A and B are shown apart, each in its own frame.
Chain A
Amino acid sequence: MPKRLPVYPYVWRLPLLIWQGLFFVGPLILMVAMSFWLVRNYRMEPAFVFDNWERMLGRDYFWNAYFITVWRASVAAVLASLIAFPASFTLAFRVSESARRWAIFFLIVPFFTSYLVRIYAWQVLLAESGPINAVLGMVGLGPFTMLNSGFGATVGYLTLVLPLVVILQTFSLASVDRNLIEAAWNLGANRRATLFRVIIPAAKVGLILGLVFAFILSFGDFVSPFYLGGSKPPTLSILIIDTTKSGQQWPRAAVVAVMMIVTLFVVAFAAVGAAYGRRK
């Protein structure tokens, strides 16, 4: 380490603190503060009152949205994890190293392509007179109503989270110590026992991480419930947008946002506890 150069380290350390302080922490603190403000004559006034909190949390409307959001995000997270697992297992244990790398590559690509356009494509595909119903009609099924329902929203959530869940699961499964598996075999464990008592516990962290990220992403998503789920009943993110865009009711939207963040923190901490806590 060179001596007497106090400037150098701070040139690298401070930019992030300044930028995230100004444009990440600042806005979030303002939003929390805003949830205690007053709206009078369509203008916000700084204050410290619980009006917005009482008004939002006292309504069934809010709690219905809250529970439907938690419910749908949980379903999406569990479904995504279950659907992803066989694929991740194949990628981790049954294909070559380079095939796995290519698979991961193709799973990363959608993450950086327009989610909005993908959801629009689903809107066309799932429509009453769309291609999927046309194909089903040829074999005498349907037509099914798939849009504007929980099913539609779930398809959207899975489009969003499935690639990420497969990636996380594959990495954690692939890093399970092969000797552990061999040992289980040698000790006479059958396939089922090896899977449930050796591989899954060893890959626990990645599996839980996948579940939690799927939950977090679905919980905050606005596009799927709006364009595929029909926005009735509204989810929390739809509630925020409706409340914000309909005039100056930002403080009430802030209440919803704070409730969402609190929920996510609880879920994240519970998950970290489950993932890293008490190992047997």
Chain B
Amino acid sequence: MRLGDFLSRLYLVALFAFVFAPIVTSMVFSFNSDRFPTVPLGHFTLNWYETAFARPEVWTAFGNSVLVALCAAALSTALGFATAYTDFRYGFRFKNAYLALALLPPTIPLVIMGLAMLAWLGRIGLSGTLPGIVIAHTVMGAPFAMAICRLRLQQMDASLEAAAWNLGASPWRAMRSVVLPFCLPALISAYCLTAAVSFDEFIVAWFVSGLNKTVPVMILEILQGNVDPQINAIGTVVFLTSMTLVIVAQLLILRKTAR
């Protein structure tokens, strides 16, 4: 039993090592002097960061990514909340179809979304623009936002809102003073997570971005050339950005389940 316990823990550690190996590797190699890294490591350097961030197009790409992520996250969160509230509050005909529509996008392969979006956005003249990427990322982010808001609403006493109505509040007023404040942590964490989704998404963005590249699209294009440790440097910054977003979101989720 002791041995079994020990072995099963060891297995767990091995699995986590596999999952985190690429993340750690990329961070370590971003500070490593060798162009083709191997063991033993070369010496410590900030060279790759300096080269990468001396390029103006890297800064432009970061600007694009941040802008797209901020907008797509706002739209996803708004859509997700509205949908979650609808599901929580109302029953209606075809509700199952409605929910299927809300939750389906993540099951469609990104390559297919990319192709479909490219054709569609081309028709309405948004292909190759940042709003085009925002639209695509909102479609992909909204289901995540909805799931998070729905979980939070689940914890709300349904009669709370009814009580506000009975006390004379209009539905709008009840929404503003009861439902929204209750959902605030979920809204923030949904915003962070959908921003992280958008910040890391590259397939659809690659199809529709044209010349307005985001960071992952730029990484993708550098990757098609040679081994280039600048990717580790850019990648580490991207990691830290999305990790921060995810950790903020998780802390809010964990805190609310603890209560």
Binding site for B on A (CB under 8 A): 2, 5, 8-9, 11-13, 15-17, 19-20, 23-28, 30-31, 34, 83-84, 86-87, 89-91, 94, 101, 103, 105-110, 112-125, 127, 129-131, 133-135, 158-159, 162-163, 166, 216, 219-222, 227, 237, 240-241, 244, 250, 253-254, 257, 260-261, 264, 268
A108 to B20, CA, bound (A): 12
Partner of B18 from A19, A30, A162 at Cβ < 8 Å: A162
- Would A117 and B238 count as touching, CB distance under 8 A? yes
B8 and A121 form a contact (CB under 8 A): no
Interface size class, chain B? 35 or more
Q: Are A261 and B112 in contact (CB under 8 A)?
A: yes
Q: Is A220 touching B23 in the complex (CB atoms < 8 A)?
A: no
In the bound complex, do residue B197 and residue A120 qualify as a contact, i.e. CB atoms below 8 Å apart? no
Give the distance in Å from the alpha carbon of A143 to the alpha carbon of B211 in the complex.
41
| With A120-B223, A121-B23, A124-B37: A19-B138 Cβ-Cβ less than 8 Å | yes
A57 to B191, CA, bound (A): 43
* B 115-143 to A, binary, CB cutoff 8 A, 1 in contact else 0: 11111110100000000000110110010
A124, chain B: closest CB distance, angstroms: 6
Contact yes or no, B235 A240, CB < 8 A: no
Closest CB of chain B to A47's CB: distance in Å? Answer: 15
Query: Contact between B83 and A257 (Cβ–Cβ < 8 Å)?
Result: no
Interface class of chain A by DSSP: helix
Q: How far, in angstroms, from A36 to B227 measured CA to CA in the complex?
A: 41
Q: Is the CB of A222 within 8 A of B203?
A: yes
**Interface of B toward A, CB cutoff 8 Å:** 5, 8-9, 11-12, 15-16, 18-23, 25-26, 29, 36-39, 78-79, 82-83, 85-86, 89-90, 92, 98, 101-102, 104-105, 107-113, 115-121, 123, 135-136, 138-139, 142, 165, 170-172, 193, 196-197, 200, 202-203, 207, 216, 219-220, 223, 227, 231-232, 235, 238-239, 242-243, 245-247, 250, 254
- How many angstroms from the CA of A120 to the CA of B30 in the assembled complex? 12
Residues on A with C-beta less than 8 A from B107 are 216, 264, 268
The residues of B that contact A83 with a CB separation of less than 8 Å are 15
Least CB distance, B5 to chain A, in whole angstroms: 7
Q: How far is the CA of A124 from the CA of B98 in the complex (A)?
A: 45
Q: Tell me whether B139 and A8 are in contact (CB under 8 A).
A: no
B235 to chain A, nearest CB (A): 3
Residues of B within 8 A of A163 (CB): 19
Nearest chain B CB to A258 CB, angstrom units: 9
Contact B29 A121 (CB under 8 A): yes
Q: Which of chain A's residues have a CB closer than 8 A to the CB of B21? A: 121, 125
What chain A residues lie within 8 Å of B172 (beta carbons)?
A: 8
Complex: how many Å from CA A162 to CA B14?
Answer: 13
User: Of A118, A159, A237, which is within 8 A of B26 by CB?
Assistant: A118
B11, B82, B203, B216: the one contacting A86 at CB < 8 Å is B11
Which residues does chain B contribute within 8 Å of A108, judged by CB atoms? 246, 250
27 example contacts (A-B, Cβ-Cβ < 8 A) are as follows A2-B170, A16-B82, A16-B86, A16-B102, A17-B101, A23-B136, A23-B139, A31-B115, A91-B12, A103-B12, A106-B20, A108-B246, A113-B200, A114-B219, A116-B216, A120-B26, A121-B22, A124-B36, A127-B36, A133-B38, A135-B39, A216-B107, A220-B108, A220-B110, A240-B111, A250-B115, A257-B115
Tell me the smallest distance from the CB of B106 to a CB of chain A, in Å: 9
Q: Would A109 and B243 be within 8 Å (CB), given that A118-B22, A118-B23 are in contact?
A: yes
Please give me the residue from chain A that is nearest to B247 by CB atom.
A109
Contact between A166 and B78 (Cβ–Cβ < 8 Å)?
Answer: no
Q: How far is the CA of A104 from the CA of B178 in the complex (A)?
A: 31
Interchain CB contact under 8 A, B86 and A120: no
Taking a contact as CB atoms under 8 Å apart, the answer to whether B110 and A94 are in contact is: no
Chain B residues near A116 (CB, 8 Å)? 200, 202, 216, 219-220, 223, 235
